[in-house]
Amino acid sequence: MPILSFLQLKPQDFDPKYNFDYTRPNLPETDTRGRLPYYLPIGWYRHALRVSDRYEKDDNDWLGSNNGPNEWPVAFHGTKSHAVRGITDEGLLSSKVQNDAKREEAIQLEGDDADKPGLYVATHCNGGSHPLYTSKFDVKKPNGETESFHVVFQCRVRPNPKSYTEYTSPVQIGHAWRITNPTYIRPYGILLKSTSIKVPFE
């Protein structure tokens, strides 16, 4: 698939049986994961990452869909195309943080423990991670035409003990979560959307 090659991704990065098309009609807008609201990324397509054997000494309860006691809730991380390969390989890294908009506010709320680089995810894909944190990129198709896309990582976030501070800005809808421990965020899918498909808040 040209877009995955453009992003420097390989078949072994994926677990296709968990791919999901969120452009399908009649999908619910909300569900629950990890006993928290899960706002479906309507209008996107998920390429599921191969994560079943990635985390040592851990089962896959974190990735469940029945609100079990060890299930982690869903959040989204919008990014640019050049960052996709690195995040797929290494996850979200504090060393890559360039803009930490809520750091001072987090220190006021949480004390000195929050005085370290913060990683951000959003409760909503549309109006949260996208379009604020995504940038359009162009991919040439086999027929010579060019198509434009946006990319967002679908993630799970450790819920207990609560691993994040929560804010109503700068997202347009929902909440932004600031997380200082990268191991508390696990990307498990790459969401792609063509700019020819219109979704709310674009």
The pLDDT tens digits of the residues spanning 76-88 come to: 999 999 999 999 9
In the predicted model, is pLDDT for residue 199 greater than 60?
no
Look at 110 and 122; give whichever has higher pLDDT: 122
Q: pLDDT band at residue 193, thresholds of 50, 70 and 90?
A: very high
Residues 6+ apart with CB under 8 A from 51: 15, 63, 186, 187, 188
Look at 13 and 56; give whichever has higher pLDDT: 13
Mean pLDDT of 135-140: 92
Whole-number pLDDT of residue 104: 94
In the predicted model, is pLDDT for residue 109 greater than 60?
yes
Residue type for 14, please? Answer: F
Whole-number pLDDT of residue 52: 83
In the predicted model, is pLDDT for residue 141 greater than 60?
yes
In the predicted model, is pLDDT for residue 171 greater than 70?
yes
Whole-number pLDDT of residue 8: 95
pLDDT digits (tens, 9 = 90+) for 21-78: 999 999 999 999 999 999 999 999 999 999 987 886 667 899 999 998 899 999 999 9
**Percent of the chain topping pLDDT 90:** 77
Whole-number pLDDT of residue 57: 61
HEC string of the chain equals CHHHHHCCCCHHHECHHHCEECCCCCCCCEEEECCEEEECCCCCEEEEECCCCCCCCCCCHHHCCCCCCCCCCEEEEEECHHHHHHHHHHCCCHHHCCCCCCHHHHHHHHCHHHCCCCEEEECCCECCCECCCCCCEEEECCCCCEEEEEEEEEEEECCCCCCCEEECCCCCCCCEEEECCHHHEEEEEEEEEECCCCCCCC
Q: What tokens were used for 92?
A: 């979200």
